[in-house]
Amino acid sequence: MTSRYKTPLATGSVIAAGLLATTASAELVDVTYGTNWVAQAEHGGFYQSVADGTYAECGLNVTILPGGPQVNNQALLLAGRIDFYMGGTLDAFFGVAERLPLVNVMASFQKDPQVIISHPGRVSSFEDLTGLTMIVQDGATYYEWMKAAYGFNDAQRQPYTFNSAPFLVNEDSAMQGYLSSEPYAITTETGMVPDVWLIADAGFSAYSTTIQTLAATVETTPEVVECFVNGSILGWYNYLYGDNSAANALILSDNPDMTQDKIDFAISKMLEEGIVDSGDTLEMGIGVMTEARMNDFYDKMVEAGVIAAGLDISASYSLDFVGSGLGLDLRPQ
């Protein structure tokens, strides 16, 4: 399909005329978005549009269903029990291989927040990490890419056990982490400020924190998809550049283990590293995806032996709902 709503908005107060009825008497459409982890700042754009009424303004009553270690929200999507899921680029590629009707319709993150952490000053480049012991979890697909692209190997890898102690006691090691999590925890607990290497900046070109849905949803209710995508785009602009206090209150409510200092750190890192707003988004708007970028990442995964060659990955994403420049006026000049 071709999107009918490609004109950027003049302000963030109105999403698009004609998406869904929004009169006082209109009944909101219930939509559930399942995330891939517990509530955190990296989900802030979605919480923002719940908190400030942006989703409701175009006709949606959105419920955010947090994920977690014992929760499989993607399975709920495939079972038709939720409408959207916080997925990624690679899992939709696998969906094509496994004949699963998964479609990414927006990418919240232009850069995957996966990082490698090393001791301060121990190495001077991502390439230099090849000389260290790598503490990385079993089956990490990004490590397969690191092996193919930079020459890392299995002999130098030891399993990551969600415990930073092996890294802290060995200056000749490097450990996997999440941009806003392990580096902050290490500094808070030990006073050491580790060097942090973002794998996206080293060439790992996956989109992350996507809006994923079923192919049937795109075909049968494109107006709902468009409303949810547009609301999420505006949510991210307002969360990063506006008053995000109400969204943060919802995050703290959904995740009792979260604290405001962790949220503040995560937001600062998302802004500093261009996780949400960088590259193509600067001209085409937050959430954008491109065919060239998808093909580039697929080729890298094939070269790394992660996925088979010859798949029609165009079935794994739709560009119809992003790239119009929606919300660009909300970015500070």
End-to-end Cα separation, the chain, in angstroms: 34
Stretch (H or E) spanning 143:
helix 141-150
Stretch (H or E) spanning 31:
strand 29-34
Q: What is the rounded distance in angstroms from the CA atom of residue 185 to the CA atom of residue 167?
A: 13
133 forms beta bridges with: 173
Are 327 and 237 a contacting pair, CB within 8 Å? yes
Q: What is the rounded distance in angstroms from the CA atom of residue 165 to the CA atom of residue 179?
A: 18
Structure-derived torsion over alpha carbons of residues 173, 176, 180, 184, reported in degrees to the nearest 10: -30
Tell me phi and psi for residue 113, to 5 degrees. Answer: -80, 5
Q: What is the rounded distance in angstroms from the CA atom of residue 191 to the CA atom of residue 266?
A: 18
Nearest to 278 by CA among 225, 331, 321: 331
Are 220 and 301 a contacting pair, CB within 8 Å? no
Domains 29-110+206-330 and 114-202 share a fold: yes
Pairing assessment for the beta strands 102-109 and 84-87 based on DSSP bridges? unpaired
Domain 114-202 has CATH 3.40.190.10: yes
Q: What is the pLDDT of residue 26?
A: 67
Cα 33 from chain centroid (whole Å):
13
- Helices 291-303/89-97 angle, 10° precision: 70
The residue ranges of every structural domain in the chain are: 29-110+206-330, 114-202
| pLDDT per residue rounded down to tens, the chain (333 residues) | 333 222 233 233 334 444 544 434 469 999 999 999 999 999 999 999 999 999 999 999 999 999 999 999 999 999 999 999 999 999 999 999 999 999 999 999 999 999 999 999 999 999 999 999 999 999 999 999 999 999 999 999 999 999 999 999 999 999 999 999 999 999 999 999 999 999 999 999 999 999 999 999 999 999 999 999 999 999 999 999 999 999 999 999 999 999 999 999 999 999 999 999 999 999 999 999 999 999 999 999 999 999 999 999 999 999 999 999 999 999 998
Q: What is the rounded distance in angstroms from the CA atom of residue 161 to the CA atom of residue 31?
A: 36
> CA 114, 117, 119: angle at the middle one, nearest 5?
170
Are 264 and 188 a contacting pair, CB within 8 Å? no
Q: What is the rounded distance in angstroms from the CA atom of residue 134 to the CA atom of residue 125?
A: 15
Are 226 and 218 a contacting pair, CB within 8 Å? no
Pairing assessment for the beta strands 173-178 and 133-135 based on DSSP bridges? parallel
Q: What is the rounded distance in angstroms from the CA atom of residue 77 to the CA atom of residue 189?
A: 38
Q: Under CATH, what is the fold of the domain 29-110+206-330?
A: D-Maltodextrin-Binding Protein; domain 2 (3.40.190)
Pairing assessment for the beta strands 29-34 and 60-65 based on DSSP bridges? parallel
